[in-house]
Amino acid sequence: MGTWDIGPFDNDMAADFSYRVDEAPSEKRAEVLRAAFREVTAIGDDDFLDSDVAVEAIASAALVAAQCPGGDPVTTSYGPKQPLPELPAELRPLAVAALDRVLGPDSELLELWEESDGEEWKAGIRKLRGVLAGADTH
């Protein structure tokens, strides 16, 4: 996996995922995001979470958070090019659960970031989680 920065779309897998989101019909884009969250959360805490699956969930979480109060817009050229419809609020707790799993035990992506300067990356994921969790209470 090519990674060039710490943002949700700053790696090859997330950029490819953006293309998949764009290719889905507008009314199916929320389902693409939901599937990314489910793929991560279906993996038990005692099972190994592959980094490719994790980065898609992070990219999905960033897209959901962008529509929440306090969320940052996705402006990178590696994100989806097509506008997303208003996403259902029920995606927020799914995104939070997926991010918790990415930062949990047996997460390949977490292990990879901890081998380098992962504190800034983890802070970004926690910020994203905070936006999603806070929006879920409104």
At 82-92, the pLDDT tens digits run: 999 999 999 99
Q: Angle 27-33-34 (CA atoms, 0-180°, nearest 5)?
A: 95
Answer whether residue 1 shows pLDDT above 60.
no
Structure tokens at 75: 């402006």
| 7 falls within a domain | no
Which residue segment(s) compose the domain that 36 sits in? 12-136
Instruction: Give percent helix, percent strand, percent coil of the chain, each to the nearest 5.
Output: 60, 5, 40
Answer whether residue 55 shows pLDDT above 60.
yes
pLDDT more than 90, % of the chain = 86
What is the pLDDT at residue 138?
47
| 73 falls within a domain | yes
pTM: 0.94
d(CA 128, CA 123): 9
Mean confidence (pLDDT) of the chain: 93
45 CB-near residues (< 8 Å, 6+ apart) = 101, 104, 105, 106
| 1 falls within a domain | no
Q: Indicate the number of domains in the chain.
A: 1
| 34 falls within a domain | yes
